[in-house]
Amino acid sequence: GENVEQHPSTLSVQEGDSAVIKCTYSDSASNYFPWYKQELGKRPQLIIDIRSNVGEKKDQRIAVTLNKTAKHFSLHITETQPEDSAVYFCAASGGALTFGSGTRLQVQP
Amino acid sequence: DTGVSQDPRHKITKRGQNVTFRCDPISEHNRLYWYRQTLGQGPEFLTYFQNEAQLEKSRLLSDRFSAERPKGSFSTLEIQRTEQGDSAMYLCASSRLPGQGYEQYFGPGTRLTVT
C-alpha cells in the first residue's frame, strides 16, 4: 500500500517569512496530492491540491510542487501570517487518501 | 449548510458497548469515506463507498467495525464491543467520482471516548 512521509514535524517561522513542508510517497500509481490545514478541534480543510499531470500549482500565497520521478511533493507558503498557524497534512491518493503525519506550523508575530 | 455532516459530534461509551455513527455527505457526491484520527496523527483510512457499493476496506480494519451506505446517500459506521483503543475522532469525507473531481471534503467528525 501507499506510504507517505512528511517533514518537518514542527516548523516555527517569523511572520512574513516563507514556510516549506515536504512529503514523499511510495506508490507510483498515486495520481492526486492534496494538502489539508487542520486547526485545533476542527475538521481538516483542503487548501490546495495537485494532479500528477501537473508540476506546480499556485493559489495566492500557497503553492505546491510535484516531482513524480522522485516521488515527492512540497507545500510552499509565502508571506506567512499568524492565522497560518495550524497543523498541515499532505496526502496521496489513487482512491482513498493516505496522509502524512502532519507538520505543526507556528507563525510568530 | 450543504457540507458534510456527522452525528453525534461526541460519544462516550463503556468498553464492550456497541456504537453507531452517521454521516451525511454533500448531496451530489457519489463517494463517501471513513477515516479515523488519533491525537497528533494524520487521518487513517478505514473504508469507502461509491454509491451503495463498499469498494475498499483497510486491512487494519477490525471485524468489529462495519459500515453501510444502503441507499447511496448517508452512511453509518458501527463499532461492536468497543475497546479503549477505539477512542479517536471518526471523520467522514465525500467526493465526486474521479472523472468529475478528486477533492475530498471532511465533516466535523465524531469524537469517541471509550471508558
For B43, the closest of A32, A95, A99 (CB atoms) is: A99
For B42, the closest of A1, A95, A100 (CB atoms) is: A100
For B48, the closest of A46, A96, A98 (CB atoms) is: A96
Whether A80 shows a pLDDT value over 60: the answer reads: yes
So what's the pLDDT on residue B4?
97
Q: In chain A, which residues touch B (CB < 8 A)? A: 1, 6, 32, 34, 36, 42-46, 49, 51, 89, 91, 93, 95-102
| DSSP category for residue A96 | S
Angle at B78 between CA B76 and CA B80, to 5 degrees: 170
What lies within 8 Å, CB to CB, of B12 at 6+ separation is B112, B113, B115
Q: What residue type is A22 in one-letter code?
A: K
| DSSP category for residue A23 | E
Lowest mean pLDDT among A9-23, A60-74, A92-106, B97-111: B97-111
> Residue A102 and residue B41: Cβ atoms within 8 Å?
yes
So what's the pLDDT on residue B31?
94
- Please give the grid coordinates belonging to residue B31: 463517494
Decide if B94 contacts B32 (C-beta within 8 A).
yes
So what's the pLDDT on residue B100?
65
* % chain B with pLDDT above 90: 85
Decide if A42 contacts B43 (C-beta within 8 A).
no
In this prediction, residue A9 has a pLDDT band, given cuts at 50, 70 and 90, of: very high
Tell me how far apart the terminal alpha carbons of chain B are, to the nearest angstrom.
33
So what's the pLDDT on residue B98?
74
- Please give the grid coordinates belonging to residue A19: 514556510
